[in-house]
Every structure is written in C-alpha cells, then in structure tokens.
Amino acid sequence: PKTIYLKDYQEPDYWIDNTELSFDLGEEITVVQSKLSLRLNENKTHNNLPPLVLDGTDQVLKQVLVDGKTIEPGQYKLTDETLALPVTQKTFIVEVTTEIKPQENTSLEGLYKSNGMFCTQCEAEGFRKITYYLDRPDVMAKFKTTIIADPKQYPVMLSNGNDIAKGEREDGKQWVTWEDPFKKPSYLFALVAGDLSNITDKYTTCSGREITLKIFTEHKNIDKCDHAMTSLKKSMKWDEDVYGREYDLDIFMIVAVDHFNMGAMENKGLNIFNSSCVLAKPDTATDNAYQRIEAIVGHEYFHNWSGNRVTCRDWFQLSLKEGFTVFRDAEFSADMNSRPVKRIEDANFLRTAQFAEDAGPTAHPIRPDSYIEISNFYTLTVYEKGAEVVRMIHNIVGKEGFRKGSDLYFERHDGQAVTTEEFVKAMEDANQVDLIQFRRWYSQAGTPVITVTDQYDNNNQQYQLTVKQHCPATPGQTDKKPFHIPVAIGLLDPEGHDIALNNAGDTTQVLDVTEQQQTFTFKNIAQQPLPSLLRGFSAPVKVKYPYSRDQLLFLASHDSDGFNRWEAGQQLAVDILEELAEKARKNQSLTLDDRLIQAYRAVLQDEQLDPAVAAKMLALPSEGYLAEQAETIYPLAIHQAREFAKQQLAEALSEDWLAVYQRLQSDKAYQPTAADIAERSLKNTCLSYLSQLGEQQLALLEKQYQTATNMTDKYAALSCLVNAPAEPAKPIAKTALADFYQRWQEDVQVMEQWLAVQANCSLPGAFEHILSLQEHEAFDITNPNKIRSLIGQFAMNNAVHFHQETGVGYKLLADYVIKLNIVNPQIASRLLTPLTRWKRYGEPHQAQMKAELVRIRKQPELSKDVYEIVEKSLK
C-alpha cells in the first residue's frame, strides 16, 4: 500500500462545476449514471491537456461518453482504483454509467443497505465506491440527484438540498429529483431510500426564514425522535447566538440508520445518524444517551458552517473541521448543561484515551504529515486534541476576540476548501496576535510534560515558579521544539483563599510558557502559597509538581477552580492507588490511606456541592486512566488495587452512601434536564458503592431495578447487580438480565446496552459468559454497534478478562479483527487499538499481545486500514 504525503499536495488538473446523478435502485443491481461538467484548472501550468483521472472502485463500468461521444475501452485506462480519460477541450462533459450492488456492501462505506433501506456514507472516500469521480474535498460542485425506485419498498427517497420534481415511470417505479444549490465536495453527498416515518417541526431563523425540520426513522422508532428534534432546534439557536451562523437551506433532515460505522455524518441538509445517537425515550435511553444525542445532533448541525460552507482542502486538514466542531459542540453542551462537569468529562477522556494514543505507535500531529488509509485518522488526536488546540486559541484571544476571528474566517473562506493555516491566520488577523510558535501544536505530535518547581523568599515577599517543558519523542519526530503553552494558575494562601496576583485583583493568571525553561515571579506574597496549576485544564499537557497527599487533600476542598478541585482529588486517588497497585503486584497486604476516605466524606457531607460535580469527585480514576499513568502497566494489579479501594470506601462510608442515596429518592417524572441528571448520577454513584457491601444491600439494588420508571435508574441497578461481588447477588443478577432481555429484545438500542453491561463485567466467570454471547441472537457481526457493545467494550473496559494471563482475551479480539478485516475494514482497524499498546505492558502481556499482532499481519489480503495500524504497531 502507498503512503500519501501532505508535502505532495497539488491542486487537481480539472474542476467539476456541476454533477448530475441518477440512481436506479434495484434489488440485484443499482445503476448509477453521472453527468459531470469539467473545466481545466487554469491555476496550474499545463503543456498540453492532461488526461482526466477519476477515482473509482468496486463497480462495473458500463459506458463512458465525453461530450456525447462514446469512449471505447481501448481509449480509456481502467485500473482497480482509477479511470483515465483522454481530454481534448478545456471544458467538457463526461457521462459515466456504472453498476453497483449495495446489498453486498458490508463495509458500510459508499451506498449500502441497512434493514432494507438504502443509505450512504461518503466521508472520507466512499463516493468513489458509488461512481467514478474526482473524489477529493477541494473539488466542489453543485449536485442534482434523481432517485428511481419501487414506491412500495422505498416510498421515501431523499438526497441533499430541495426536492424539485417527482413523477412515475411507465414501469411503475417512482422518481424524485433533489437539487443542492450549494457547491460541495463529494464526501458530503447523501442518498436515502426506504420505508420510513418522520416527525416534522419548524424553526424560524434569526432573519425570519422558516426552515422545515424532519427526522426519519423506521416506523417502530417514531416515538423516539423528540429529544433529537429538541436538540436540533437548540443547536440552531445556539449557533445563531454564539457564532452568528444562520441555517441556509429551506429544509434540514436527519435519518436514523442501524448499521453505521461511526456516530453520525454531516451531509449537506441530510445528516445520517447511527440510530444509537439519535433515538431516545425515557424508558429505553439513559441520561448518558440523552446527553450524547444532544451533543452529536449539535456537532453535525454545527458542521454546516465549520465543515460544509468552509471545508477542507485535503484530508490532512481534517482537524480544521473536526477540532473546531468538537470545540463548538463542547461549548454548546457546557451551555446547555453543567459547564464544570463537561470540562471534567472532556479532560478526563482526553487524558485517558488521547494521551495513550499520543504515547503509542500511531501518534500523529493534529495535522498529520502522511497516511496510508485516511479512515485511520479519524482519531482522538484529530478530534479531541484538535478541539483543545482551538480552545487554547479561544483562551489566548478571549471570547470576543475568538468571535471576531471566526467571523473573519467564515467571511473570507465561505465556499472554499482551505487549510488549518487559514483558520489560524484569521484568528491572528482579527486580533493582532502572533501565533507563530503556537502553530507547532499543528505539526508536532506527543503530549508535552511540564515540570514545575517553586521557591518562596520570605524576606522579599516573592514567590517564583519555574516551569520546564519537555515533549517525548513520537514516531518520526525525535526532536521537538518548545510549544507555546498557556498555563492558567492560581495561588492559595494557608487558609485556602485565592491570593490576588495583580493590582486588578485577578486570582487566576495565564502564564505564557514558550521556552524550554522559564521562571515567573510573583511579588507581594505575604506567606508561602500553594500553587493551583493548569486551572480548567488550560492546555492538553501533563503537569508534574511534587504535591504531598496533605496538600492535595487541601486543594481538593479549597481550590476556587472547580476543575482543579476535582483534579486534586483525582491526583490524591491516583497516588494512593499506584502505591496499592505496586503492593498488589508484590502480593503484599493492602491498607487504604485514610486521607482518601476523608476526602470522600467531605464531599458526601457537603450538601452545597453541585450533585453533578459531587458524582465526579466520588468516582475513582478509571483503570484506563491509571494504566495511562503507569510506567509499565500491570493491569491485574491496577484492577485489584482499585477494587480494594472501592470496597474500603464503601465500608468506611456506608452510612453516608445510604444517607445521600435516600435523600435523592424522587418520584418526579423523568426529564433529561441538567439538574435531574445530576441528581440521578449522584444517587447511582452511591448505589454502586452500596452494591459492594454484600448481602445487606442487595434488596436495595433489586428494588431499584424493579421499581425504576426510567432507563437511567433501571440500567444503573442492573449494572450494580451484574457487578456485585457477593455470592447471593448472582442469581438475582441472572434473573434481572433475563427479565431485561425479555422486556426489550425487540429494541435494538436497549440490546446494545444489554450486551455492554455483560461485556464489562469483571467478576470471575464473566469471560465464558461473554464468549457465549457471541452466539446470542442479540449479537450480529455485521452491525458495528453490536461489535462495539460486546467486543469493543470487553477489550477497552474489561481489563481483568481482556488481559488474563493465558492470552485468550487477546486471541478473541484478534479473531474479530481478522474476520472484520474482510467484512468491514474500518471497524476491524478501530477494534485493534488496545493491542497496539503492547509495548507499555509488563510480561506476560507484552509478548502475547505482540504475538496476536504478528498473527494478524500474516493474514492474506489485509485491508489498507488494518495493514497500516498493524505495521506501525510492530515497528
């Protein structure tokens, strides 16, 4: 397989101005006809007219015409991936007829079928599986699409833009034509045809235009669309209020599809969603699902400007649209719900998963330099770290400055395909700031580590912070230049109050760290302070400062920065858990440091605390986060240490858990509001500790399972029952799982949850049970959600069983990678992630994980997707 480099980017030889498509959808064969108006790219110098080289795969070419004249097979050149045509004019029309078989397309890329309905996924390079085309994001055309199908099976036929004509053919088939007035790259094309219901609503934009909103699903799911519709209207309003961005077409449509490789897709005017990211009702969806739906509906909607109106020049620029849009959706969620909690969740996720990616064999900058398969670059780095980079710019130029910058960006580049450079430039130009050094965040991979030391001079009343930065080497990048890191800090006096850092009385200051080592001096500091570092997680870096456990305990109860209060508690827990894990590994006896119990007690007894924040503060760092912190990972020791701490906390604070649990009982009707979600999350956190307490609390779990009137509470109880260590819990859990299945076996989304709760169970015997679930009716290897629920959850979140010492967990995962390599390469390559981290594990894990990677590499016909990841991991 060939590597593509950013440095080789060249504009295309030809542009496409207009694209007319027709799809005759059939059960055996689908016939695709395209008519493209082409024009020589005069920006480039050409000696003579170069051939037109179109991208295309997995289709049968039936006919080619140029300016109405047939091109015979001898005159064109066809390969597995391209069709080259001779060119004689500067502008010309190409007409191509091809045949495809969507019903056999299991890659879920291009045109495929899901539960009998036709749908598409074109980003990044799926359009070339539909027809021959210049399938690259800098080629932007106006699309007109006609869909022809049997109206009995496919009464609903949708594409981008507005429907402008429809009719019936003599053979009884129906046709409809859609026209999209906005130029777009092929990756934003979409088509849907099926027997669907919809809910309809209206939105009046800030300039008074009325937009029709529609959400389409299979008939049985029509009662699950309301939350997505509400979320859509909130998103439209928010983008007007915060960014001044108005919707542009007269109709906006969302379609829910069961078979989908990722969360959703922002096709112009016709977003296609994984049904799990759009469908919800109180008795089948959890609070998590409700919040995820709001975030993803927002994300895809926001792409209409950050991605569609202004798109990417090439796929190396992916973070231009994704980093920016993740930042936008995070701010939207923060505005709709709890801001500190959203920040805690995002930082926690980044530090667990993205930091691991940045420290592994597939580390890459948010703007990568090369790729083999672009699908492999829809990563946490491009998305989540990309969003953090945009957030840093936001913090550097301030809220108003950022708005000036985004206005300038949209105004300058509307209708264009641009690079991350244009984004940074607009921010600079609108604010007269210098982001030269800051640009290194786009080109250098790896997580910088800042090491902070301090010195207090009592005589001069001066305090000094010395900050050193270092970024570990990543593949292909050994010498890193210093980053521009905005480090927000505060200083606490011995009573725990913030010290004013300047005459204006500011108590948080951003230090612009730009050098390898820098010292910052604070004057008029009356007593030795305690620093609160990287407040609000102001940069995606690791911080090292030699806090004692007592100091962390102090910060956890006094820091005025909500994020850092949580963070201090986490650091305290990490420090204690690391020591426990080390002892567990050496088979020494374990005792829990009383300071952790004190910290938890303080949170439990503080009735003023926002319950959402309290729930976060009462959650131990995940095994994944602890693994990320470790020099060498011993997953079983980490698990043992964490379970021990959980048990000790449950016992030591049993009365507090129960008191808070009881205080939060409520018979309010379910509403997914921030306040209610917060209370449920604290209540169910208490329940999970109570579930550690053996027989005495089983009745409580059982009661919540049976009487819950919403899925959040029901699922929390189910999960606690399934994971309760006490022997008498086993039969109750078994009955609950069976009951849950009986009740919701017809509901696809609930069944995903049912598989996941079992895949996550770390109790003895759970692995055999997981193996048996592969044969269960509720599982289906052709459905990515089911793979993620059972196999993905098992490998990512069930360390004891995945990392068991016989290596059978690794083998299970590798077997799926091998099967999916043929069926669905994108999912295969994603699933592989946990194995790629082999170098960080102690033995016997390391050798066994590597052996499975080697076995995968030996498979015949490795897809580009899997090949690239395996190859990089074994280097």
Binding-site size for ligand B3K (CB under 6 A) equals 12
Q: Which partner in ligand B3K, Zn ion, none is near 454 (CB below 5 to 8 A by kind)?
A: none
| Rg of the chain, C-alpha, whole Å | 28
* Nearest to ligand B3K of 124, 577 (CB atom): 124
Of 295-303, 357-365, 592-600, 626-634, the segment contacting ligand B3K by CB under 6 A is 295-303
Long-range contacts: 750-755, Cβ < 8 Å, 24+?
750/284, 750/711, 751/778, 751/786, 752/276, 752/785, 752/786, 752/788, 752/789, 753/286, 753/711, 753/715, 753/789, 754/778, 755/779, 755/786, 755/789, 755/790, 755/793
With CA atoms as reference, report the closest residue to 83 among 92, 101, 71.
71
- Minimum CB distance to Zn ion, residue 268 (Å): 14
Q: Which partner in ligand B3K, Zn ion, none is near 814 (CB below 5 to 8 A by kind)?
A: none
Q: Tell me if 102 sits within 8 A of 111, measured CB to CB.
A: yes
Positions in 311-370 near ligand B3K (CB under 6 A): 322
Q: Alpha carbon 469 to chain centroid distance?
A: 28
Q: Tell me if 154 sits within 8 A of 193, measured CB to CB.
A: yes
Backbone angles phi, psi at 124, to 5 degrees: -90, -40
Q: Which partner in Zn ion, ligand B3K, none is near 447 (CB below 5 to 8 A by kind)?
A: none
Q: Tell me if 491 sits within 8 A of 530, measured CB to CB.
A: yes
Q: Which partner in Zn ion, ligand B3K, none is near 378 (CB below 5 to 8 A by kind)?
A: ligand B3K
Q: Which of 85, 124, 417, 721 binds ligand B3K (CB under 6 A)?
A: 124
How many angstroms separate the CA atoms of 54 and 95, rounded? 12
- Minimum CB distance to ligand B3K, residue 307 (Å): 7
* Nearest to ligand B3K of 173, 234 (CB atom): 234
- Minimum CB distance to Zn ion, residue 442 (Å): 18
Per CB under 6 A, does 265 bind ligand B3K?
A: yes
Per CB under 6 A, does 177 bind ligand B3K?
A: no
How many angstroms separate the CA atoms of 702 and 684, rounded? 13
Of 147-155, 299-307, 527-535, 786-794, the segment contacting ligand B3K by CB under 6 A is 299-307
**Tokens 């879920």 found at:** 108
Of 66-74, 105-113, 147-155, 323-331, the segment contacting Zn ion by CB under 5 A is 323-331
- Minimum CB distance to ligand B3K, residue 120 (Å): 12
Q: Which partner in Zn ion, ligand B3K, none is near 788 (CB below 5 to 8 A by kind)?
A: none
Per CB under 6 A, does 552 bind ligand B3K?
A: no
Q: Which of 132, 273, 327, 378 binds ligand B3K (CB under 6 A)?
A: 378
Per CB under 6 A, does 425 bind ligand B3K?
A: no
How many angstroms separate the CA atoms of 616 and 568, rounded? 12
Long-range contacts: 723-732, Cβ < 8 Å, 24+?
723/688, 723/691, 723/760, 723/761, 723/762, 723/763, 724/691, 724/692, 724/698, 725/692, 725/694, 725/763, 726/694, 726/695, 726/698, 728/695, 728/698, 729/691, 729/698, 729/701, 732/698, 732/701, 732/702
Q: Tell me if 147 sits within 8 A of 23, measured CB to CB.
A: yes
Q: Which of 20, 55, 123, 752 binds ligand B3K (CB under 6 A)?
A: 123
Q: Tell me if 262 sits within 8 A of 109, measured CB to CB.
A: no
Of 93-101, 319-327, 613-621, 654-662, the segment contacting Zn ion by CB under 5 A is 319-327
Per DSSP, the three-state class of 767 is helix
Q: Which partner in Zn ion, ligand B3K, none is near 20 (CB below 5 to 8 A by kind)?
A: none
Per CB under 6 A, does 831 bind ligand B3K?
A: no
- Minimum CB distance to Zn ion, residue 300 (Å): 7
Q: Catalytic residues, which ones?
A: 300
Cα-based angle 390, 393, 396 (whole degrees, multiple of 5):
155
How many angstroms separate the CA atoms of 474 and 205, rounded? 47
* Nearest to Zn ion of 263, 725 (CB atom): 263
Q: Which of 375, 758, 785, 829 binds ligand B3K (CB under 6 A)?
A: 375
- Minimum CB distance to ligand B3K, residue 583 (Å): 43
- Minimum CB distance to Zn ion, residue 325 (Å): 5
Per CB under 6 A, does 125 bind ligand B3K?
A: no
Residues contributing to the site for Zn ion (CB under 5 A): 322, 325
Which positions lie near ligand B3K, rule CB under 6 A? 123-124, 262, 264-266, 299-300, 303, 322, 375, 378
